[in-house]
Amino acid sequence: MFSGRPESGEPTSRFFPGSPALQALLIQAIAFGLVLTVAYGMPVLTRFQLNLGIAAILQGVMAALLSRWRNMAPWWMPIQLVFPFAAIAVHAAHLPSWIFLVAFLLLAALFWTTFRTQVPYYPSTPVVWQAVADSLPQDRALRIIDVGSGFGGLAMRLAALRPDSTVEGVEVAPLPWCASAIRASLAHSKARFRRADYGQLHFGDYDVVFAYLSPAAMPALWRKARAEMRPGSLLLSCEFDVPGATPHFVKRASATARPLFGWRF
């Protein structure tokens, strides 16, 4: 669905994998190796020895600088800086091992392919739902798809507001998909949810495509929309626009609300 290239658009090198998460992990491993080299070499050259705290600071700074050198997205630098301290804190807490397994399974079920797609979980709000509803054509029944539908709030709201229309949600992460399907069943909502990668869909089957993804995902979404969406259809994106593609309209419910971008085909 999305490219595995580095976020800067540089070619993937032999030593750095394309996925940002894998790059970050490799950078931490390199920084750890450098810190070990310094820790063992410093007592030989000087009388100073690294303690755990200084070693953690050194590793975090090195990892952040390497992330900057690799032109990774800005949010990776504070993550890389804090990671060694978080690892030390977790180790010091002496937590039972099963907690880490449960946490991993829950996070995997929620975020699933975020490490590959670079699309974290962004929940939309009722303000956004209303802005989407107000943007829909009112003169005909529609077929609407929510790409990355999360826990299903938007799709269920649109299904209630537009009973004449067909509303679907597609979500690749198992936990949100399962929760949205159960919510729709309990609420007797007409919204329908499927677990799939939106790359498997054909946008030409829909009158309205809504997405709340991430800046990294927008170029691929736009290419797919341009290739598949029919004349008269509408692409909506919450918060993130498409570089180089001027939207036909931008809506804000308030000065602080996330913008809703719309492109007509």
CATH number for the domain spanning 169: value is 3.40.50.150
Span 98-127, average pLDDT: 63
154 and 85 in a common domain: no
Q: Of 1-15, 104-118, 170-184, where does mean pLDDT reach its minimum?
A: 1-15
86 and 132 in a common domain: no
Q: Of 68-82, 104-118, 213-227, where does mean pLDDT reach its minimum?
A: 104-118
The answer to whether the CB of 234 falls within 8 A of the CB of 264 is yes
Q: Is residue 152 scored above 60 in pLDDT?
A: yes
The vertex-76 CA angle with 35 and 30, nearest 5°, equals 25
82 and 206 in a common domain: no
The answer to whether the CB of 147 falls within 8 A of the CB of 170 is yes
Considering the chain, what percentage of its residues have pLDDT values greater than 70? 82
254 and 131 in a common domain: yes
Residues 6+ positions from 113 with CB-CB distance below 8 Å: 172, 173
208 and 143 in a common domain: yes
d(CA 80, CA 63): 6
Is 11 part of any domain?
A: no
pLDDT tens, residue by residue, 44-56: 677 777 788 888 8
Is 14 part of any domain?
A: no
Checking DSSP bridges between strand 234-238 and strand 260-264, what pairing results, if any? Answer: antiparallel
234 and 145 in a common domain: yes
Domain interval for residue 178:
126-264
155 and 258 in a common domain: yes
Is 207 part of any domain?
A: yes
The answer to whether the CB of 132 falls within 8 A of the CB of 210 is yes
Amino acid at 164: D
Most confident of 9-23, 72-86, 123-137, 222-236: 222-236
67 and 151 in a common domain: no
Which pLDDT score is estimated for 48? 74
Average per-residue pLDDT for the chain: 82
Span 100-114, average pLDDT: 59
Which pLDDT score is estimated for 28? 86
Is 108 part of any domain?
A: no
Give the pLDDT band (50/70/90) at residue 7: very low
Give the pLDDT band (50/70/90) at residue 2: very low
Which pLDDT score is estimated for 252? 86
Give the pLDDT band (50/70/90) at residue 92: confident
Span 152-172, average pLDDT: 95
Is 10 part of any domain?
A: no
d(CA 17, CA 23): 6
Span 106-123, average pLDDT: 57
236 and 136 in a common domain: yes
Q: How many domains does the chain have?
A: 2
Q: Is residue 20 scored above 80 in pLDDT?
A: no
The answer to whether the CB of 216 falls within 8 A of the CB of 191 is no
